Structure 1
């Protein structure tokens, strides 16, 4: 099934590009703490800057981004393979973010961050894929 691109595709693409640029920009700051950023609400930087959330915090933006992508793929009735492709692209983003940190003297590339980015992406896309499957099941049972 071929996907058609309309205005919604461009809107979702713009949202995703902004999301990816935010992820990369925040990942490549010299200070990993978000407290000094004026556009981050205090409840969010208090949670992310807490030591106990230092590794899992990588998953959060990827859950959000993958939910947006998953919603779009669902609306387009995309195949399972498109969801897998989206997951691999998101893994590429988290790997790029970590590779960039390798070149920043005050930061460290961390394989755990790659893992949590993969998990976050899997959760978001998985929620939408499961929603698709359940919707299809209920439609089949109601016929």
Structure 2
């Protein structure tokens, strides 16, 4: 469930990052074959589209007109992407639990992340805090899709 938790953590801050992270894993062939839509994420057009949408979301976050992540549409996007990615990253018998873990994490951390970002923007500004947040979210999302994270070593 660690991978589902991490992808939920990333989704709480950037709603499209889970799809971009799955696309990156799909291009590397690192997604389970039995994952729903796994072949779709391996398609170069879909993969680049997910990455482009994620980059656009990150760029838009730096704009003064960017809506808060806790608005209903933002929470809806986070709900869908986190639940799907959380299920996809869980083992076959635990997909419902993986979806629930990722969804709960995304919704809870959306609010926490928003409060932290608002507080940090007062001191460091919107752009600087956004870039720091983007780096943390991207690293978290990529870690979540790395199968080595949960492999046992001898």
- TM-score interval, normalised by the smaller of the two chains: 0.3 to 0.5
Q: Which has the higher contact order (CA 8 A, sep 6+)?
A: 2
Larger radius of gyration: 1
TM-score by length of 2: 0.33
